[in-house]
Amino acid sequence: MTIKKSLVINQPEVGKLNPELRGLTGLAQEQFAASLGITYSTVNRWEKERVKPSSLAMQKIEGMLEEMGERGEKALAKYLSN
């Protein structure tokens, strides 16, 4: 699987990617936040499109997507900027 090392996702798209990723993993916002080493409120702000994840958080999200294989690649492809 090939995913760009520098993920560039438009701000509105981040709010959609994270809930989709959480759905694929079966994690609630609190669990998703814990798996990334961040707070629940940070994930909540991402999903409400108030802030964009840091580059470190995006690397962790990328790792989660890579672990999912083809499902993760398909989910990510919807949200990457061209």
Task: Give the predicted TM-score (pTM) of the model.
Answer: 0.74
pLDDT digit string (tens) for 13-51?
A: 777 888 988 998 899 999 999 999 999 999 999 988 888
Give the range of the structural domain holding residue 47, as residue numbers without chain letter. 13-77
Query: How far lies 38's CA from each of 26, 42, 55, 70, in Å?
Result: 18, 7, 13, 26
Q: Is residue 30 part of a domain?
A: yes
At 46, list the tokens. Answer: 């991402």
CATH number at residue 45: 1.10.260.40
Q: Is residue 58 part of a domain?
A: yes
Q: Which residues pair with 80 in a beta bridge?
A: 9
CB 19 within 8 A of CB 51: no
pLDDT digit string (tens) for 56-80?
A: 888 888 888 888 889 888 887 887 7
Task: Count CB neighbours of 9 within 10 A.
Answer: 19
Q: Is residue 27 part of a domain?
A: yes
- What per-residue confidence (pLDDT) applies to 62? 82
